[in-house]
Amino acid sequence: MSRHFTYLVLLMITSASVVQSQYYFYNDKYYNSLTLAEAGFSIGGMNCLTDLGGRKGNGKPFLKDINWKNTHPAGGSYFGLLYDQTFGIRAEVQFGKISASDNILKDDQSSAKNRYNRNLHFKSNITEVLLLAEFFPLALFNREHTPFISPFLLSGIGIFRFNPQAQLNNQWIDLHPLHTEGQGFKEYPGKTPYKITQVNFPVGFGLRYEISALINARLEMVYRFLRTDYLDDVSTQYIDPSMFYTNLSVREAGIAKNLADRSAELQPGISRHEGEIRGNPENRDTYFSCNLKVGLILNRKAR
């Protein structure tokens, strides 16, 4: 994925070089360029909204169902071009981690108790490459001066890689090869295997502050629309556990059986039957990040 990011940056630099440089005064020490080039880094947090965990009661939309304690560090780097302080394009690579667990509902006595009894959990590292378009609306009303504080909107497309894992006997196990819901098994033709490298569609908003002529800071939140409901390896129904032994090696089948249904760990003797609800495929998973960015303007020239 790093190669994709390198290609994007090189393309953007090439595009910037063919734009005729036009300069005007930024302040009494620097000229400004019609097209600004910026490079920087970001630090922040990443979280997710999947079938696992959540808040009390029935599942709710977005912010109302997020377990904020599952936020993990995230960071990355970027290169961007900004035209006339109004429209920008940015290539970015970002790394983070997401996780969720039904165990977080341990003391909840609402209808969410069913999720707690399901007793599933996961974690996954996230690596993504994004191509984003930015729009700074206030610049449309102030062409004379560069605003020091600028709200902005962004959207774009990205490629991300994830790999859900669960812990068994103090060891973290990759879930994708185990087909825990029968994905790809001939006995379940409607369940196709999911890919761990996929496309996402980020949207977000933020605030940009010019610290100086050469340095700015941004605070932004980015939400990703996904085409998968298997970010946490949970989406549909339980399958007949004997199908693991039909389609996998004996060793893999034993592990898959233990990780697909963990109800008995809380309630000995309890097991789920084929066709019982394991997840909700109607609502796709998502992840989001909130980052602080620090950028260096590369082409403001001293007067």
Which domains, ranges and CATH numbers included, belong to the chain? 2-297 (2.40.160.20)
Q: Rounded to whole angstroms, how far apart are CA atoms 50 and 63?
A: 12
| Contact between 244 and 64 (Cβ < 8 Å) | no
| Contact between 79 and 90 (Cβ < 8 Å) | yes
Q: Rounded to whole angstroms, how far apart are CA atoms 248 and 158?
A: 33
In eight-state DSSP terms, residue 211 is: S
What integer pLDDT is reported at residue 105 of this predicted model? 87
Strands 31-33 and 23-25: antiparallel
Q: Rounded to whole angstroms, how far apart are CA atoms 76 and 1?
A: 13
Q: Rounded to whole angstroms, how far apart are CA atoms 135 and 153?
A: 5
What integer pLDDT is reported at residue 3 of this predicted model? 59
| Contact between 236 and 181 (Cβ < 8 Å) | yes
- Long-range Cβ contacts of 83-88 (<8 Å, 24+ apart): 83/34, 83/35, 84/34, 84/35, 84/139, 85/36, 85/136, 85/139, 85/146, 85/147, 85/150, 86/135, 86/136, 86/139, 86/140, 87/133, 87/134, 87/135, 87/136, 88/133, 88/134, 88/135, 88/136, 88/152
What integer pLDDT is reported at residue 16 of this predicted model? 46
| Contact between 252 and 297 (Cβ < 8 Å) | no
| Contact between 36 and 300 (Cβ < 8 Å) | yes
Q: How many residues are recorded in the chain?
A: 303
Helix (H, G, I), strand (E, B) or coil at 255: helix
Identity of the amino acid at 180: T
Q: Rounded to whole angstroms, how far apart are CA atoms 13 and 80?
A: 9
Q: Which pTM does this prediction carry?
A: 0.88
What integer pLDDT is reported at residue 20 of this predicted model? 40
Task: Give the residue ranges of the chain where pLDDT is below 70.
Answer: 1-25, 28, 57-62, 64, 143-146
What integer pLDDT is reported at residue 2 of this predicted model? 54
Identity of the amino acid at 207: L
Task: Give buried/exposed letters for 62-98 (b at 16+ CB in 10 A, else e).
Answer: eeebbbeebbbebbbbbbbbbbebbebbbbbbbebbb
